[in-house]
Structure 1
Amino acid sequence: MKTIQNYAPPDAQSLQRLQDRLGFSDARMAELAGLDAATPWSSFVGGPEPRALGRQRLFFMMARLALDEAQWQGVLDAMHETGARFDYDDALSASAPPAPDPVADEERKFGMLLVSRNGAFHEMEQLREFAHFAHEADVSRYVNSVFYDSDIDLCRFRFADHDGLTDAARDRIFDAAHKTITRFEFDGRIYHGGIPPESDG
C-alpha cells in the first residue's frame, strides 16, 4: 500500500486562507481538525513559530470536507466494525455552510486576499475600496487577508509578519479601513467606518 512520503505541511498562511474560505471560527476549525482544548487552532495559523499540521490530521480534515455525509458515515461505521469505540457529535453536519464559491466570494488585490463569507456584493465592494486605499498608502504588503464575516457583519484583518509593520503603518491600515469598511475589528475593538450616506436635506 502506498503511503504519503516527503510530506511538507501547509504553512500558516495557507491554513488561514482555508479558514477564510470556509468562514469558520477558530473553535470550528479546531473541531474540524479534531483538536483538544490544549491545542488551539490559533497555534497553527499565528504566532512567531506556528505549529506544523501533521499529515494524519490534515488527511482527516480534508476527508471530512471532501466526503459527502453517507461516505463519511461509512468511514465511521468501518471504524466501529474494526473494534473502535467512540462517541461522535458532528458539529460540521448539514447545518455547516459549504465552502463559498471562490470566484464569487474571494479575490486577490495588491497581494491581499479579500474574502466575503457569503459573497455579498456590498462587502466585496468595501473590501476592494479598502485594498485601493491601503495600496495608495503603501501598506498593502502588511496585510495577508481581509475577511468579511457576513453572518455577524464584521470585517477582520490578518497582518503579515513583517519588520516594517510599524505603529505608523498600522495607523495607515486603520485609516484605510475606517474610510471604507462599515464595521470592522482592529486591535481587539469594534469600529464603524465607511463613507457616510448623503443626507436628504
Structure 2
Amino acid sequence: MKTIQNYVPPNAQSLQRLQDRLGYSDAKMAELAGLDASTPWPSFVGGPEPRSLGRQRLFYMMARLTLEEQEWQRVLAAMAEVGARFEYTDAHAADPAPPPEPMADEERKFGMLLVSRNGSFHEMEQLREFARFAHESDVSRFVHSAFYDSDIDLCRFSFADHDGLDDASRDRIFDAAHKTITRFEFDGRIYQGGILPESDG
C-alpha cells in the first residue's frame, strides 16, 4: 500500500490564506482540524514559531472540505466498524431557522486582498486606508491579504513570499496598520491602533 512520504507541511502563510478563502473564524478552523482547547488554531498561523500541521491532520481537514456529506458518513461508518467510538453531531442541526450568516466583503487594492468577514463598512474602510498607507510606503507588494475577523474584532495579515521583505519593510507595514486598523495582530501580538469605528447599527 502506498503512503505519503517526504511530507512538507504548509507554512503559516498558506494556512492563513486557506482560512481567509474559507472565511472561517479561528474556532471554525479548530473544529475543521479536529483540534482541542490545548492546541488553538492561531498557533498554526501566527507567532514567532508557528506549529507545523501534521500530514494526518491536514488529510483530515482536506477530506472534510472535499468529500460530500454522504461520502464523509461512509468514512465515519468504516471507523465505527473497526471498533472506534465517537460522537458526530451537526451543532446547527437542531436550529429550526438559523439566522442567515453575514456576507463577507472583499476587494483587491494595490495588489492586496482585503476581506471583512461580516462585510462591515467600517472594517472595509479601515482596510482600504491601510492599503493606501502601505502603498504610499512602498510595501504593498509584501502583503498578500488583510483579513478582518468581525467575530472577534481582529485584523490579521498574511505576507507574500518576497525576498525584499526585511525588518524595515515590516516596520512600515506595522506603521500602516497602526495608523488605520482599530485592533490587529502582528508577529503574534495584539495591537490597538487607528480610530475607534462608529457603530454599523
TM-score (norm 1): 0.69
CA contact (8 A) 2:130 2:176 kept: no
2:177 to 173, 182, 186: 173
Which position in structure 2 is the counterpart of 1:41? Answer: 41
Distance 2:3 2:72 in 1: 21
Preserved CA contact (<8 Å) 2:13 2:158: no
What is the alpha-carbon root mean square deviation over aligned residues?
Answer: 3.6
Unpaired segments of 5 or more residues in structure 1? 179-183, 195-201
User: Could you tell me which amino acid in structure 2 is paired with residue 6 of structure 1?
Assistant: N
Find the counterpart in structure 2 of residue 147 from structure 1: 147
Give me the identity figure in percent: 65
Give 1:1-80 correspondences, 5 Å limit.
Answer: 1-80=1-80
In structure 2, relative to structure 1, the CA distance for the partners of 1:155 and 1:37 (3 Å cut) is closer
Q: 1:92 to 1:71 in 2, by over 3 A?
A: farther
Q: 1:92 to 1:138 in 2, by over 3 A?
A: farther
Give 1:109 shift: 4.1
Other-structure match for 2:162: none
Cα deviation, residue 156, structure 1: 1.1
Q: Which position in structure 1 is the counterpart of 2:156?
A: 157
Any stretches of 5+ residues in structure 2 without a counterpart? 160-164, 185-189
* Partner Cα distance (1:163, 1:91) in 2: 44
> SS state of the match for residue 192, structure 1?
coil
The aligned counterpart of 2:183 is: 185
Aligned length: 181
TM-fit CA distance, 1:64: 0.8
Structure 1 moving runs of 4+ over 6 Å: 92-95, 119-123
Code of the residue aligned with 2:155 in structure 1: it is R
What SS is found at the alignment partner of 2:167? coil
Query: How far off its partner does 1:7 sit?
Result: 1.9
